[in-house]
A and B are shown apart, each in its own frame.
Chain A
Amino acid sequence: MTEHPNSSGNQPPAKANSFRQMPDSRGHFGTYGGRYVAETLMPLVLELEREYRAAKADAAFQQQFDDLLEHYVGRPSPLYFAERLTEALGGAQMWFKREELNHTGAHKINNCIGQILLAIRMGKTRIIAETGAGQHGVATATVCARFGLPCTIFMGATDVARQQPNVFRMKLLGAEVVPVDSGAATLKDAMNEALRHWVAHVEDTFYIIGTAAGPHPYPELVRDFQSVIGKEARAQMLARTGRLPDLLVAAVGGGSNAIGLFHPFLDDPDVAMVGVEAAGHGIDSGQHAASLTGGAPGVLHGNKTYLLQDEDGQITEAHSISAGLDYPGIGPEHAWLYESGRVKYLPIGDDEALEAFQLCCRLEGIIPALESAHALAALPKLVGDYGRDQIILVNVSGRGDKDIFTVADKLGVKI
């Protein structure tokens, strides 16, 4: 993507030996990624790739994207110095990238704006999407309302039951919400059903995937659309402090908010990065969603990546208190960054996230999403490695209003 005019900062061009040149022409990040889809879908993903290349080179497309991000989403999102959290942790400066202030309350909308513009460009007349917690579903329903396209959201029946407010939001926005009963009836099953629906409606339907995963070119284009986060943060940090952060921290479900923050910094050798995976009840319990720490390479949902699976390659159910991290896979670029060592990945459990959630509420007056609370929970573990003059930048990927019922329940409070 060409640079966002408001936020290009001093972005260096990608170098030889760059971490920013993936994927290759076949959509591979090292050995990960690719296009593992049924033949029926192959011509579609090839067409999507052609159209994406054309859009990327089209100044008018970029301009429309930037304009919507500014005036509809409310970008740039602020870069905020979290003074009291910094004091409480007693070490490096803690800064927040405030993605929770975006329209619809999370980073998900950045990607949805980009993809719906692509859908319109390709002449598609219907939109489908999968959703777990409902954040991506709400963001998709929002852009569909904005552009007047009919929208069908696939959502696991278990998630429909535990995320009623988001289900109602999607319906208010005019979307049809289809509960999916197969499997454990959560995000993975919603994605299966969306793929089944797509295969049967290839002519007119665009599938807006909600994270940096799926068949090529999805991991690349979702990353590019989400890279507005890192481009802004880079420029904002330079403007405010005259330097780059020492460490970036972000929660990783499929990996879109993390790769969006990380990617523009990947070739800055002095910027370290940590992706936070959901450890649920602990890696040893088997009830977690940490695909890198507790999984192995395999093929699912159109890409090769790390997956939670048994010795026969059957996919095992993920668990996290955070519905947005409750997925047994991870985007392929993270699999590659993990193996290359450029990014470290740290597992954080339900209880730690719950504690960080409350801490952020009380110290900063910000109710973070449970997903983002996983990133915040990593800070006490990382702060010791950095001096007081150093800077740690955390992506607060979403706000936690959607999670208050889950949190109240965990805290034994009736609301």
Chain B
Amino acid sequence: MTRLSSAFAKPHRALVTFITAGDGDTAANLDALVEGGADVIELGMPFTDPMADGPAIQAANIRALGAGTTTAEVLRIAREFRQRHPDVPLVLMGYANPMVRRGPEWFASAAAEAGVDGVICVDIPPEEDDALGPALRAAGIAPIRLATPTTDAARLPQVLEGSAGFLYYVSVAGITGKQQAAQASIDEAVRRLKAATNLPVAVGFGVRTPEQAAAIAKVADGVVVGSALVELVGEHGKDAPEHLRKLTSALAEAIRTAG
């Protein structure tokens, strides 16, 4: 079993949490997420042009880059996380250009060496898989794909082909942030996805509260929370860990009682 499949084989649904690398004291913030009960960590790789992100994560990218966060620093954060938390799956999430800059093989082997389990690349759809997918698979890293409300039945098999780790369902046609999907539409979409794949399905975009998380956990294998956590990092700076721990435990608690 991989770290990712173990996380989705727990008796409860998985809580997947996102923060941006280099934004605040990332090591302390990541530890707080784990202590609060996160089952999977998504670590955002900052990029100058985060086209799929709303204001909260855009601001986090700017803060991280402003603090001088390099690719080497992101990998260092990952490596040290892996040393402190040997069993918690870690997924890098970001945009194509920083990932392919030194060549996909370089990135894949550096990420594998840092103990990364999966990679989500927002702007490499299945059509451009060659740009990164083969290198990730060769390095034993799961390429995690996104399905969205616009991914229709005809297209879904192409998205699933070559996906690994889990399937990330983006519940709103939109950017990360506050826009929320109607629960009924999430239920319907997750049922459709689960009928088409054995991969665990995690739902994200617009998930902010324990109540939402609980409702999603009734149907999906995982719940992804990003912007709400990133906002806490932006708001509380050095004091972010305690706030992150609090929100994460509330989310984890809600998921465990629901799922």
Q: Given A199-B52, A298-B97, A315-B49, A39–B127 Cβ distance below 8 Å?
A: no
Q: Given A199-B174, A202-B150, A299–B96 Cβ distance below 8 Å?
A: yes
Inter-chain contacts of B96 with A (CB < 8 A): 36, 299
- Is B146 interfacial (CB-CB < 8 Å)? yes
Central interface residue in A37, A188, A202, by most chain B CB within 10 Å:
A37
Inter-chain contacts of A304 with B (CB < 8 A): 131
Query: Closest approach, in angstroms, between the C-beta of B249 and any C-beta of chain A?
Result: 31
Closest to B74 in A: A312
Q: Given A39-B125, A42-B155, A195–B51 Cβ distance below 8 Å?
A: yes
- Is A200 interfacial (CB-CB < 8 Å)? yes
Inter-chain contacts of A392 with B (CB < 8 A): none
Query: Closest approach, in angstroms, between the C-beta of A200 and any C-beta of chain B?
Result: 4
- Is A85 interfacial (CB-CB < 8 Å)? no
- Is B10 interfacial (CB-CB < 8 Å)? no
- Is B170 interfacial (CB-CB < 8 Å)? yes
- Is B71 interfacial (CB-CB < 8 Å)? yes
Q: Is the CB of A192 within 8 A of B127?
A: no
- Is B100 interfacial (CB-CB < 8 Å)? yes
Inter-chain contacts of A301 with B (CB < 8 A): 49, 51
**In the complex, what distance in Å separates the CA atom of A300 from the CA atom of B100?**
11
Query: Closest approach, in angstroms, between the C-beta of A216 and any C-beta of chain B?
Result: 9
- Is B148 interfacial (CB-CB < 8 Å)? yes
Partner of A298, one of B50, B101, B147: B101
Inter-chain contacts of A291 with B (CB < 8 A): none
Query: Closest approach, in angstroms, between the C-beta of B78 and any C-beta of chain A?
Result: 15
CB within 8 Å of A: which B140-174 residues: 145-152, 155, 159, 170, 172-174
Q: Is the CB of B123 within 8 A of A37?
A: yes
Closest to B159 in A: A39
**In the complex, what distance in Å separates the CA atom of A187 from the CA atom of B177?**
23
Q: Given A40-B173, A312-B101, A299–B146 Cβ distance below 8 Å?
A: no
Give A residues with C-beta under 8 Å from B: 26, 34-44, 182-183, 188, 192, 195-196, 199-200, 202, 298-302, 304, 307, 309, 311-315
A-B contact pairs, 18 of them (CB 8 A): A26-B127, A38-B52, A38-B148, A39-B125, A39-B151, A39-B170, A40-B150, A42-B150, A192-B50, A196-B51, A199-B52, A200-B172, A300-B97, A302-B123, A313-B98, A313-B101, A314-B48, A314-B97
